[in-house]
Structure 1
Amino acid sequence: MADDWFRSPDWGSEARADFEARLGRSRAGNRAQYMRIKGLALREAGHVDAARELWTRIIESADEHWPQVSGSLEHLGDSYRHDDPPRAATYYRRLIADYPTLSGTSGCVHVSLAEILLDRRDKESVEQAARLLGTWIDEFSIPFPNAISGSTSR
């Protein structure tokens, strides 16, 4: 669908060229959002590396679009959660440090990072996970019950 050019999961050479052309013609203030959404569609279609490329572009170039940067940091962390947990943890930590309100994210990054730490099974990591979860419970009002009772792993 022409209106949803940034939601298409296609990423062949023609689709990529079309996306880049349309992105170039779009308003500068919307580009980061289009790349973030396109990244989500690509990830769902199994094009994880392409999605990571788009999210990395946002982080490296769109400082004025911080909701897209914070969301992209979370998406990158999520995309590495099972493949490269230390790398995922780096993205989550950066998100927590640089965007402490978690605006533009699921609000559950503390839980995601705690899950990685708990997988390490050492005392220091477990204590750090407990502190993260305590901070999350104390400082963030998450209105979605599934955020508390469900898994946040993607």
Structure 2
Amino acid sequence: MSVQVGIIMGSKSDLHIMQDAADIFKEFGVEFEMTVVSAHRTPDRMFYYAKQAAGRGLKVIIAGAGGAAHLPGMVASITVLPVIGVPVKSSNSIDGWDSILSILQMPNGIPVATVALNAAKNAGLLAVQILSTADSALAEKMQAYKDELRKKVEETATEMEG
């Protein structure tokens, strides 16, 4: 199986958040790659990565960034692939709001799917759902995952109700 998802982040300091997406891909058996691509410090690297991603077989890009968080939007402006942005609450962040708004408030024509602050796990799950539209086996795994979530809630409710 070839690499289907690219996980990129603005800095290695984002890895502890972005690892959650990688863990989801391991659980679902989705091949991925992960690297650092800074929109501000390595714009040529960012441009090259985004421009070449589809041609290399990627289907989805997850981009995590803190602070000004331009990485997801800039990548989305270059590639035709779906981009999922993960706002990261970084050390120089304004409680994460700067990251959230930088990723969320994209101009018309440059969509970026945005998950909650530090929610790389949800970004991974959304990428799996996107991929599952063309992969019935992956769709079955996603359904089983959701069934397990439902089951856990029902078991908790039963315990509480008594």
Taking structure 2 as the reference length, the TM-score comes to 0.31
Q: Which has the larger share of strand?
A: 2
Which structure is higher in RCO with an 8 Å CA cutoff and minimum separation 6? Answer: 2
Q: Which has the larger share of helix?
A: 1
Taking structure 1 as the reference length, the TM-score comes to 0.32
